[in-house]
Structure 1
């Protein structure tokens, strides 16, 4: 038993909810208020009719939901290209969805609604649940034979006759479906013929991919060539710099030889020692000149000390005389000249030695450097660059062609998807069929 009806975006109803009582429910109202739309919504829920203008203007889909007395909810969803059902069982968090099941509602939906038509031996099936707007209650405007067939539908013979009629109708329907399928096959073959350019498109895509691979190889080769050219230019610059250094060093003359000054240094040191001793001797002589006659000897301790001192002074004087005699033979010291020029010369000499050692190291390094390779002609590189420019233009044109082909492929996919949505399933085997599987693998029937 239906307790509640909810209608969304169906014909004139944007959102309508109807609570049904336990007895008889009557809908009243003026014209064009949506009474017939409620009845039509129940009919669509029960029979899933062929597509018509049921979706409210501006909406993407229409929904008709009924809530049964056991808590079950059945929802009929009508989209622009397909229709389906949602079955919400009591306590379920997610619905069971039914799509692409053909024209007849699924058995689970029919079992939940219990709004099936009654099949008669003669005449069309009778709807005992939903009536038409301008017709009386069922069978009142029908021949008596229909009423008799309806009330006799519960007997065994009626069931046999109904089964026989059903078999006849199924045979007729099968023939009609066969004719429809032949027409669908012709239409599908026409669609497949429209998809005939796909192999050429695939070949063009493969050629574009090969061109792309060639371009990638050239892109990887160019950095290596640039690195080799950069190294070559660096070696040429280094060789030019070394050549200039060597030309500058060739102008430098050999430095003069430095005489050994050790003997002169020893002589100067000896003269300083002699000068000190001579100064001490003169001081001693000057001290002795002031001495008078010695006094009476009384205590000889001091005299002994003085004698020892005199002996020491005498020895010193003797040594001084000897040294003086030696000094008289020594020629006078030469006058010391200014050493600023010598100092500058020594600094320049040290700088030259440093530069010489540095040039020697450079020469050792340069001797290990191999001769630079001869500069080859750049014609091959220019040909490569020309080929790359040609490949770039070809890649650009191929990319534009690929874009056009992708747009054409997208249009074909939309056409195929629209046709598949109209069919719902494979017309040959009844299996599930999608756009991706149809284009990539075709719908095969090996079994």
Structure 2
């Protein structure tokens, strides 16, 4: 792309200089006396194209230095730096007015700038040669004080043989690296084969692991049954405790039926005693009436109205007969009281029968609970017998736990072995790829050597020494 305008500001002796180069096919010449800034123009361009900076480039008294290169399509490349170095950047202004700010690029030129200018060092045999700009008095690049091999490499670069040499060297390096890698992989494969032979027992162990996994499943089932048995055993112990407490209560109240009979007899005795007390009171009332009647009779003896008194006496006589009958009944009651007293003497302590009666009702309720517990106890006894049979059947649960632990260990080993097997398969794949690559590059080297020989034969001259090509010597060398 052709440069349309160059603007240099505060660069050495230039305050602001604008240069418009001649069109394509014409020559632009800078003339003038010494120390007028002709060389500074080349230095300014080298600063833009190669990013070569020196503190003397800043004009004395200026705060910044700037070089702007404008191309024919309107693109501008600006290189600016402040005296303190705080501002040091490239800026690209595109034809549409957009801007791209580039900073922190070190000692190189950003790729975006090189793509616009088309200027970059040419790399030949690890050497960077700037062929676009030359200092004052500097010869063209092949005339510079460089070694003959370097010049030959430059010519080879121009003739296109440099790429073939680089490809051949790269192929040789790749072949050597591939062979070294192959040897390394062969050694590793031998070591891995030796390690694999150490694990010849794995198939047998895999079968053993499968058997152990089956045992593990059965052991887990056994563990679940064992947990259920332990839970049932705890329930059984709790029921045994409850049954023992119930038995104690039953033994404590085993005479409750006798107490009920005593309570019943005492109620009857109380009723008879109450009846006798009522009869005794009536007897005492009758005796008092007889005494009063006797006193009245004595008082009215010989008096007029004896007939009436006789009638009264007759009535009193009838009453006396009734009282005699009551007395006989009282005697019978006394005999009954004495019999009841004897019965009470035989049942000393029966005065607590009322309390016993209250407790008897509660005991009746408890007897119902005990009856239910007895039925439950029978069911539990049957369950215990059944669980005892199961416990005998699973007596080897301890061995199952040991097998379970061994199975876990074996499973961990199996995981490690699986990882080693995967790594071995990866190494086999890498070795196979390395062999394929080595075989490919061995064939490729032959093809490249033939192409190189044909190219030299077609040229007729050696690009290094400039001599004629000898077919016989060329076959010996290539």
- The two structures have a TM-score, normalised by structure 1, of 0.39
- TM-score, with normalisation over the residues of structure 2? 0.38
Q: Give the number of the structure whose alpha-carbon radius of gyration is greater.
A: 2
